[in-house]
Amino acid sequence: MTPHVAAPDPQAGAAVKAADRAHVFHSWSAQGLIDPLAVAGAEGSYFWDYDGNRYLDFTSGLVYTNIGYQHPKVVAAIQEQAGKLATFAPAFAVDVRSEAARLIAERTPGDLDKIFFTNGGAEAVENAVRMARLHTGRHKVLSAFRSYHGATSTAINLTGDPRRWASDTGSAGVVRFWAPFLYRSPFYSETEQQECERALAHLEDTIAFEGPATIAAIILETVPGTAGIMTPPPGYLAGVRAICDKYGIVFVLDEVMAGFGRTGKWFAAEHFDVVPDLMTFAKGVNSGYVPLGGVAINAEIAATFDKRPYPGGLTYSGHPLACAAAVATIQVMEDEKVVEHAAHLGENVLGPGLRELAERHPSVGEVRGMGVFWALELVRNRETREPLVPYNAAGEAAAPMAALGAAAKKNGLWPFINMNRTHAVPACNASEAEVKEGLAALDAALSVADEYT
Ligand code: PMP
């Protein structure tokens, strides 16, 4: 379905932009150097501006519109809930909140049967860490370099993205380790098996030197997203699970980005047959129509707080509008077989299409991913694997990626660009035709990147 695009109205667009420039302080940006696109509308896999340009969204917003924009059933559910009970405080049992928790708990793996609701991913991470610390009576948390866990206090300190903030003070109790990544192996491995074994040995060494009795939790993204969609080698996550069991450490999997169908399963953990003790989620839980995140908690950790209060909470925890959007989204995903469709796209359309592009474009160093969760790592030289732009490049140094982005947009594709990577992360319910349209636009954009090899 190709959505309607509103008639161009550049004057209205200019007014939206002027007010934005005057009053909106944007995330992650030098305020004086940005020029945000004024968005006039969105539907399904597309959005459009006030000048008559339409874009195929290969970013799913910030990797969250898993069922696309303006799904009529989710919009209707939010409207209906607003008419019925628009808000109610978290200390009460509310039908739509109970129903959302039940639907989520039924889909999370193992005995992750209790749901603590937050407003987003970072708060989910904050609370998972708090639960692990209280459950174990220990303080340290181990997290991976090349990870993203959010931008609040503990979450940003766990993030190892790489670390690049002038204000970074580090945080007492956060210890970072190297997770496996064969293409740029921290362990100089040549095979996936080597990478897995060496990464597990490194993790166990880190634990030994830090002191197992001081470590509350290990947190990992099941498939690290923002830092590069690096599918872990077979056996790695099961190995981390075994290490956590051995030392009594809480295993937290962060599925804020990888969860709710993105990898072609409800949760990425299912691909690797692991069940964490705590699992964070957000984004795809309700396609981001109303802010919602949470922690899925196993029976043992939940029991810690049976007789003693949990010292944490949020005014909007389990907000009825967000929960109504989650109930409707999960129903749509079931009814329209969205998770199965995402797996199909990955196996038969997007994955093969990206690999075919990699064969023809010398700027593509590696293609990796699953479902509708893919990264192209771009290089100047395939042999040396020198990144197309250096880490943390800005201005002129980032020009090749900026040129790629501009070419994609010229061809009607809105791309996700981070450092030397472009990610292909369309909606889980994008049609085959839409994915092929995106691949054709990427083809053109990669020809521009090739000029820098
Ligand atoms: N964890 C992961 C894996 C994420 O990808 C993100 C957001 N990109 C977060 C946590 C933080 O989520 P939020 O921005 O909703 O706080």
What local confidence, expressed as pLDDT, does residue 2 receive?
A: 57
- Whether ipTM > 0.90 holds is yes
Nearest CA to ligand 1 atom 5: 257
Out of 149, 156, 279, mutate this one to test ligand 1's pocket (max ligand atoms within 8 Å of CB): namely 149
The ligand 1 atom at the shortest distance from the C-alpha of residue 123 is 16
Closest CA to 277 of 144, 104, 111, 106: 111
What local confidence, expressed as pLDDT, does residue 163 receive?
A: 76
d(CA 428, CA 60): 9
Q: 């990478």: which residue's tokens? A: 195
The ligand 1 atom at the shortest distance from the C-alpha of residue 291 is 15
Ligand 1 pocket by Cβ (under 6 Å): 62, 120-122, 125, 148-150, 221, 225-226, 254, 256-257, 282, 293
The ligand 1 atom at the shortest distance from the C-alpha of residue 282 is 15
d(CA 286, CA 64): 8
Nearest CA to ligand 1 atom 12: 121
User: Where does 119-197 show beta strands of DSSP type E?
Assistant: 140-144, 174-177
Q: 């947009």: which residue's tokens? A: 409
Closest CA to 105 of 279, 313, 335: 279
Nearest CA to ligand 1 atom 1: 149
Neighbours of 397 (CB within 10 A): 11
As given in the structure block, the two tokens for residue 64 are: 């969250």
Using CA atoms, how far residue 308 sits from 135, 139, 183, 295, 303, in Å, is 11, 19, 46, 19, 9
Using CA atoms, how far residue 424 sits from 315, 326, 446, in Å, is 35, 24, 13
d(CA 242, CA 228): 25
Q: Judge residue 188's burial from the number of C-beta atoms within 10 Å of its C-beta, 0-12 exposed, 13-18 middle, 19 or more buried.
A: exposed
- Angle between helix 320-335 and helix 95-107 axes, rounded to 10 deg: 40
What local confidence, expressed as pLDDT, does residue 236 receive?
A: 98
What local confidence, expressed as pLDDT, does residue 162 receive?
A: 81
Q: Which domains does the chain have, with CATH numbers?
A: 10-70+337-450 (3.90.1150.10), 72-335 (3.40.640.10)
What local confidence, expressed as pLDDT, does residue 424 receive?
A: 98
As given in the structure block, the two tokens for residue 213 are: 């009795």
Buried b / exposed e over 321-339, threshold 16 CB at 10 Å, is: bbbbbbbbbbebbeeeebb
Buried b / exposed e over 12-40, threshold 16 CB at 10 Å, is: ebeebeeeeeeeeeeeeeeeeeeeebbeb
What local confidence, expressed as pLDDT, does residue 6 receive?
A: 74
CA dihedral sign, ordered 405, 182, 425, 157? negative
Question: CB of 379 within 8 A of CB of 386?
Answer: yes
d(CA 412, CA 338): 24
Out of 27, 117, 256, mutate this one to test ligand 1's pocket (max ligand atoms within 8 Å of CB): namely 256
Q: Taking the complete model, does pTM exceed 0.80, yes or no? A: yes
Per DSSP, what are the bridge partners of residue 218? Answer: 142, 251
The ligand 1 atom at the shortest distance from the C-alpha of residue 121 is 12
What local confidence, expressed as pLDDT, does residue 167 receive?
A: 76
CA dihedral sign, ordered 279, 285, 287, 293? negative
Out of 60, 63, 118, 148, mutate this one to test ligand 1's pocket (max ligand atoms within 8 Å of CB): namely 148
Question: CB of 258 within 8 A of CB of 373?
Answer: yes
CA dihedral 393, 395, 398, 400 (to 10 degrees): -170
| Mean pLDDT by groups of 10 residues along the chain of 453 residues | 74 97 95 95 98 97 98 98 98 98 98 98 98 98 97 93 78 95 97 98 98 98 98 98 98 98 98 98 98 98 97 98 99 98 98 98 98 98 96 88 97 97 98 98 98 96
Pairing verdict, β 416-418 and 215-221: unpaired
d(CA 348, CA 345): 5
DSSP 231-300: PPPTTHHHHHHHHHHHHT-EEEEE-TTTTTTTTSSSSGGGGGT---SEEEE-GGGTTTSS--EEEEEEHH
Pairing verdict, β 112-118 and 293-298: antiparallel
DSSP secondary structure code for residue 395 in this structure: G
Span from the CA of 10 to the centroid of ligand 1 (angstroms): 34
Span from the CA of 257 to the centroid of ligand 1 (angstroms): 7
Span from the CA of 356 to the centroid of ligand 1 (angstroms): 31
d(CA 288, CA 259): 13
Span from the CA of 359 to the centroid of ligand 1 (angstroms): 32
Span from the CA of 263 to the centroid of ligand 1 (angstroms): 16
d(CA 287, CA 233): 28
Span from the CA of 144 to the centroid of ligand 1 (angstroms): 15
